Structure 1
Amino acid sequence: MSFINMANPWPLVPLPLYSDKVHLVPLALEHAVDLKLALEENDLWNFWLTPIPTVSSLEKEIKRRLSLQNEGKMFPYSVYDVLKNRYVGMTTLMELDRDNQRLEIGYTWYSKSSQKTIINTQAKYLLLEYAFSELNVIAVEFRTHFFNHASRRAIERLGAKLDGVLRNHRITLDDEGNRILRDTCVYSIIQSEWPTVKQHLRYKLNNYVY
C-alpha cells in the first residue's frame, strides 16, 4: 500500500472541479452518451499518434479507467462544457505517486469542435491548481508522442518544460497492424514554477478571444 502523507492526505476518489466555463466531473458510465457524440466528430480514433477510444470501445475504456481509480492509480474525469451543456472529452490525473508527491496529467481527448478552444486551457488550469494547491505535489508530468507536434506545442503553451525524450519507450501498432517503436517526450511543471505558470494561465484565460 502506498504511503499517504497524513499532513496532506490525498482523497481516495476524484473530487469534482469547477469553473464558469468547464466542469471536471468524476468519470461515470452515464457520461457515455455525450462522449460517443464527441468521438463521432471527425473520427477522432483514427489519429494514430495518441490512443483514443472508438465509439464501440468507449464503455470498455470507461470501465478500465474506473478500475484503475479503484486501485488508487488514477483520478479519471469527464470534461463538461458549460456553454454546450454536454460532455466533450475525458482527462485524468494518473500515475498517482503518493510516496513522492508526483502525478501525471494524461489520457486526454476532446471533441473536434472543442480543440483549440478555451476548454483545454481551463481544464488543465483546474487540474494543475488542484494538484499543486490541494494535493501539494512537487511536480506534474505530461507525456506525448515525439511526433505529436500539436500536443507538444499545447503542453509547451501551458508553461511545461521538456525534461527529455524516452527513446524506444513503447511498442505500438501502425495502421497496418505492424509493430513500431514510440519515442515519448516527457514534460513537467515543478512546484516552484507553479506561481508563475498559474499567473500565465490566468492571463490567457482572462484574455481569451471567443
Structure 2
Amino acid sequence: MPNWLNPIQLEGQKVDLVPLEKSHRDDLLLAAADGELWNIWYTSVPSESTIDKYLETALQEQADGKSLPFVVVDREKGTLIGTTRYCNAEPEHRRLEIGYTWYAKSFQRTGVNTECKYLLLRHAFESLDTIAVEFRTNWFNYRSRNAILRLGAKQDGVLRNHRIDKDGILRDTVVFSIIQPEWKTVKRSLEYEMGRYGH
C-alpha cells in the first residue's frame, strides 16, 4: 500500500498540523526552550545539540513510509508551539502509532493536545481507514499516561525492559490503543471535551 501517509495539513480551531520541514528547525528549538523541555529525562525533545539528527531521522522515516511528522502551529499567533507525528506505520495492517508529541510549556493543559489528537485520530480512522491507533509512553511519564487515558484509549500492556536509553537506563513502555469500533464514541467524547475549552 504505497503512499499511505501522504503529507497533509490538518486544520483545527486552535491549531493547524503542518508537515514537518527542515526549515522548522529554529522554531522547534524556540518552542522547546519554553520550559527547557529537553531536560525532561523520560522524553525525547530536541535540543540545540540533537535537533539536526532529530529532523533527519523524522524526515527519513517519512521518506520510508513509516512516519508522517507534523509541527503544531497556533492559529491565533501563527507560531510553532510543538510537534507530533504518525509513526511506526504498518500500511499492510492499517495500523499506526501517534507519538513524538510535545508542546511548549505555556501551551500545555490548554486544550491543544485534545484538539491535536482529535485531528490525528479523525484523519486516521476516517481517511486512512486504520483499524487501530496505538500510543506508547515511558512508564514514568505519568502525565502522558493520564492524558492518553483521557483521550479514551485503553491500556494494552507494559513492555518491560523495552528500550535502553542514551544513559543506559532500561525503559518500560506502556502501550495503549484505540480500535476502529471505538472511534465513534471516542470522537463524541473528544468533541465534548473540546467544547469545554471553547472550540
Classify the TM-score, shorter chain: over 0.9
What SS does structure 2 have at the residue aligned with 1:99?
helix
**TM score, norm. by length of structure 2:** 0.95
Offset of 1:12 from its aligned partner? 4.8
The percent of aligned pairs where both chains have the same amino acid is: 51
Q: Deviations over 1:107-164 (max 9, x none)?
A: 1111111111111111110000000000000000000011110000000010100000
**TM score, norm. by length of structure 1:** 0.90
User: How many residues of Structure 1 are paired with residues of Structure 2 in the alignment?
Assistant: 199
Q: Mind listing any 5+ residue stretches in structure 1 that lack a counterpart?
A: none
1:161 maps to which of 149, 154, 163: 154
Offset of 1:63 from its aligned partner? 2.0
- Superposition pairs for residues 113-192 of structure 1, below 5 Å? 113-173=106-166, 177=167, 179-192=168-181
- Superposition pairs for residues 1-210 of structure 1, below 5 Å? 4=1, 11-173=4-166, 177=167, 179-208=168-197
In the alignment, the residues of structure 1 paired with residue 91 and residue 3 of structure 2 have an alpha-carbon distance, to the nearest angstrom, of: 8
Offset of 1:207 from its aligned partner? 1.6
Offset of 1:61 from its aligned partner? 1.1
Offset of 1:57 from its aligned partner? 2.1
Is contact 1:39-1:55 (8 Å) kept? no
Q: Mind listing any 5+ residue stretches in structure 2 that lack a counterpart?
A: none
Offset of 1:206 from its aligned partner? 1.2
Offset of 1:58 from its aligned partner? 1.6
In the alignment, the residues of structure 2 paired with residue 73 and residue 42 of structure 1 have an alpha-carbon distance, to the nearest angstrom, of: 30
Larger Rg computed on CA atoms: 1
Is contact 2:163-2:171 (8 Å) kept? yes
